Structure 1
Amino acid sequence: MTPAPVDGRPVAAPTLVELAGVSRWYGNVVAVNDITMTLGPGVTGLLGPNGAGKTTLLHMMAGFLAPSRGRVTLGGEPTWRNPDVYRRLGLVSEREAVHTFLTGYEFVLASARLHRLAEPAAAARRAVELVEMTPAQDRRIETYSKGMRQRIRVAAALVHDPDVLLLDEPFNGMDPRQRLHMMELLHTLGGAGRTILFSSHILEEVEQLSGTVQVIVAGRLAASGDFRTIRRLMTNRPHVFVVQSTDDRALAVALMAEPSVTGVELDRTGLTVRAGDYGSFTRALPKLALRSGIRVRRLIPSDESLESVFSYLVEA
């Protein structure tokens, strides 16, 4: 089935990006470790904490890096040392490489000419309009905000109407309105049959934009599939809380009888409580304290960093 066109333009048949047993190392440092995945039409989120290997993975998909082991293909063709893939691929890297003395339009036009498009000026105007940058297209990029630079870079990546779009932390620097528009644009492109992959370390960005997610932690694929299923795993993981009260010892005794509590430790700083279910524990604690005549002074989740959440998925 041929995907629907975007803005009246024909869209090529769906293009798959496939990774088979892919690893990448630098000396003794393993950046990506034995990852296998297939990306098809629609929007997929690549989620993970900073330093997890997301950028390395995207650079291998884009043909900028060779896998140390395994194979990366786009439409069945290897991405490494294969310039032809850029006819079907658009990339917005995390690091900016923009000639800021150019205007926004000139920058996108240069990209159109590099792709040897038949009508580069028309393609550039269309791409600039797509990201809502027409009012600022004649200003130099050096005058742009971070969010505006992000959008003009997306326009340059879209100017040749690629089948596959890879974006590394694309929402950095965008204000809420810019972010909403970019999400709507990516939804439209994905719905029309493009293969869109964007990386993020922010759970809410992936939740709003993508139903499919690939979670990467410490270079390994920790989880893959439907976002709601993976979010449920994150929510239902064991949690650790620090609790301080007017009578920590009595509260510790009461907590040991609570079904949601899996462990309690008491020291001079207060209680460390391990709970099997976040919601059940936080609902039960006030009732327990009230029945025991104890006032809770402090309740702090001590393991809510992204690294701890994602690491749980690796161990699950």
Structure 2
Amino acid sequence: MSSIELNGVSRWYGNVVAVNDVTLTIGPGLTGLLGPNGAGKTTVLHLMAGLLAPSQGEVTVGDEPAWRNPDMYRNLGLVTERESVPGFLTAWEFVLASAKLHKLPNPEEAARAALSIVELVDAQDRRISTYSKGMRQRSRVAAALVHDPKVLLLDEPFNGMDPRQRLHMMTLLNKMADEGRTILFSSHILEEVEQLSGTVQVIVAGRLAASGDYRHIRRLMTNRPHQFTISSSDDRLLATVLMGQDSVSGVSLEPTGVLVQANDYGTFTRAIAKLAREHKIRLTQILPSDESLEKVFSYLVAT
């Protein structure tokens, strides 16, 4: 049991479609599920974890259906986005309870190993209510790892972690993936995915928008049309100059400056300073007008 498959999967709530006809396969290694907030990432993870039934299609983990299959959790670990850790417990008590629920032959040894993996041994006897958010997150990861699962699902696992904790978690996930586990984590932050090896699945508005390694996804995003608002010492002259450039598909004068539609991001950004210098135009501000995550991802849906 090491691969996850969604075949034509949809999930709706009344008239609201949360996941729309998604087909994908997650194999051994580290995969990022990337998308803006509200895109359907959590719903996809809950379908994979068997917490939700698909309204249409099929979800399998290994060769077994995810829905109504509690035995699947012998080989699957889940870290949800919402915290549900009882603060009155210590990390040791919390992770040990997880080991006992899994009916492990030596729960104490398994709990010690899991806490060591996430570097919480020194704080294991403190109540979780005294932990920082990053430490609470690590205690939840330890509880999900205690039975050494082959499949690990993590929903926004880096929330609340400081840079050192993030680096440690990234190193840990890469190490476990290299050992042959299937690990899927969700994120709405491009840089988190960029720093982790593996493949990326991009989901927007419940649909699978793009799939591939990070370099492929980054290339798709970079090569899309971009809008810039540029302020200068002579906006009218600048607009005239830019209209003759092959990398520019549209120019308009606005109260805030020159609104430019660039069809070649790299060529335009390399040329703008040179053109301004040649025509003795002083650039005072260059602002991307369409860099919100929602717009970036929505472009991928349309390609």
- Normalised by the size of structure 2, how large is the TM-score? 0.98
The answer as to 2:193 corresponding to 1:215 is no
Q: Post-superposition shift, 1:276?
A: 1.5
The answer as to 2:241 corresponding to 1:254 is yes
SS in 2 for 1:123: helix
In 2: Cα distance, 1:268 partner to 1:65 partner: 50
Match of 1:202 in 2: 189
Match of 2:45 in 1: 58
What does 1:90-239 correspond to in 2, within 5 Å? 90-239=77-226
SS in 1 for 2:195: helix
Q: Post-superposition shift, 1:269?
A: 2.7
In 1: Cα distance, 2:197 partner to 2:4 partner: 17
In 2: Cα distance, 1:71 partner to 1:58 partner: 14
SS in 2 for 1:190: helix
In 1: Cα distance, 2:256 partner to 2:113 partner: 61
In 2: Cα distance, 1:96 partner to 1:286 partner: 49
SS in 2 for 1:209: coil
Count of matched residue pairs: 303
Within the candidate set 9, 13, 38, 1:22 is matched to 9
Paired letter, 2:186:
S
In 1: Cα distance, 2:257 partner to 2:167 partner: 43
**Alpha carbons 1:32, 1:56 under 8 Å: kept:** yes
The answer as to 2:83 corresponding to 1:89 is no
SS in 2 for 1:237: coil
The answer as to 2:251 corresponding to 1:264 is yes
In 1: Cα distance, 2:198 partner to 2:282 partner: 42
**Alpha carbons 2:117, 2:142 under 8 Å: kept:** yes
1:1-27 deviation digits (Å, cap 9, x = unpaired): xxxxxxxxxxxxx51111000001111
SS in 2 for 1:193: coil
**Alpha carbons 2:92, 2:125 under 8 Å: kept:** yes
Q: Post-superposition shift, 1:277?
A: 2.0
Q: Post-superposition shift, 1:284?
A: 1.1
1:47-95 deviation digits (Å, cap 9, x = unpaired): 0001000000000100111111111011111111111111111000000
Match of 1:294 in 2: 281
Q: Post-superposition shift, 1:287?
A: 1.5
In 1: Cα distance, 2:46 partner to 2:293 partner: 23
- Normalised by the size of structure 1, how large is the TM-score? 0.94
Match of 1:283 in 2: 270
SS in 1 for 2:87: coil
In 2: Cα distance, 1:149 partner to 1:211 partner: 26
In 2: Cα distance, 1:287 partner to 1:186 partner: 44
**Alpha carbons 2:29, 2:198 under 8 Å: kept:** no
**Alpha carbons 1:211, 1:228 under 8 Å: kept:** no
Q: Post-superposition shift, 1:268?
A: 2.8
**Structure 1 residue ranges, 4+ long, deviating more than 4 angstroms after superposition:** none
Paired letter, 2:184:
L
Within the candidate set 33, 44, 53, 1:46 is matched to 33
Unaligned runs of 5+ in 1: 1-13
SS in 1 for 2:78: strand
In 2: Cα distance, 1:295 partner to 1:194 partner: 55
In 1: Cα distance, 2:7 partner to 2:43 partner: 15
In 2: Cα distance, 1:177 partner to 1:296 partner: 39
Paired letter, 1:199:
S
In 1: Cα distance, 2:47 partner to 2:240 partner: 54
**Alpha carbons 1:48, 1:201 under 8 Å: kept:** yes
